[in-house]
Chain A
Amino acid sequence: QKEVEQNSGPLSVPEGAIASLNCTYSDRGSQSFFWYRQYSGKSPELIMFIYSNGDKEDGRFTAQLNKASQYVSLLIRDSQPSDSATYLCAVKSSSNTGKLIFGQGTTLQVKP
């Protein structure tokens, strides 16, 4: 079992729809969770982080965390073609080294 799992996609949604990206993790001691966006040929860009159970909203983005189910998700409302990218879920390991464990990423395609 991989430590952080994401569906590789591609996930295709029409413009204006809600895109839902999901991630599961195996380390029950994990406390910090991150979503990075990566455009083709570019470096990962941090867009959200969440530490507590529940929802965290930032503009069109909402991160959701359920530690009991070891599940974290990212919702993108009013999806735009510019949101088309690969979204990487990252989980901070329970050690104190600050290391992040990354999922393989989900490719999102927003069709005009």
Chain B
Amino acid sequence: DAGITQSPRHKVTETGTPVTLRCHQTENHRYMYWYRQDPGHGLRLIHYSYGVKDTDKGEVSDGYSVSRSKTEDFLLTLESATSSQTSVYFCASKEDTLYEQYFGPGTRLTVT
């Protein structure tokens, strides 16, 4: 397994507050991804990164921003959390030359 950790693992926050989720990997993987998982929708890509300071949008990027200042860290920020962003968030990473992605343990976010 890739060494991927996510923090926090659980968070409850109020509507309108900013929230930052952290993904940390120790595998020196170039590519990192943020997904959200919701019943009936499966895993959906929010943003991804293909290198330090190189990021791009996924299919459900509205309301989210990301930053990657170091290879090992990929941050996901909800600028102003809404109840529709209540979800389980997974981070994943992969090596440059392979296609397989490996997932972190997930963060359960509840926006009240």
Contacts and interface: CB of A to CB of B under 8 A. Distances in A.
Contact of B100 (A46, A88, A99): A46
A32 B99 contact: yes
B90 A99 contact: no
Nearest to A98: B31
Contacts, number: 50
Contacts of B41: 104
B94 A98 contact: yes
B90 A44 contact: yes
| Most chain A CB neighbours (cut-off 10 Å) among B41, B42, B48, B50 | B42
Give the interface SS of chain B, mostly helix, strand, loop or mixed. strand
A43 B100 contact: no
B43 A43 contact: no
A43 B48 contact: no
A25 interface: no
A98 B42 contact: no
Interface of A: 32, 34, 36, 42-46, 49, 88, 90, 92, 97-100, 102-105
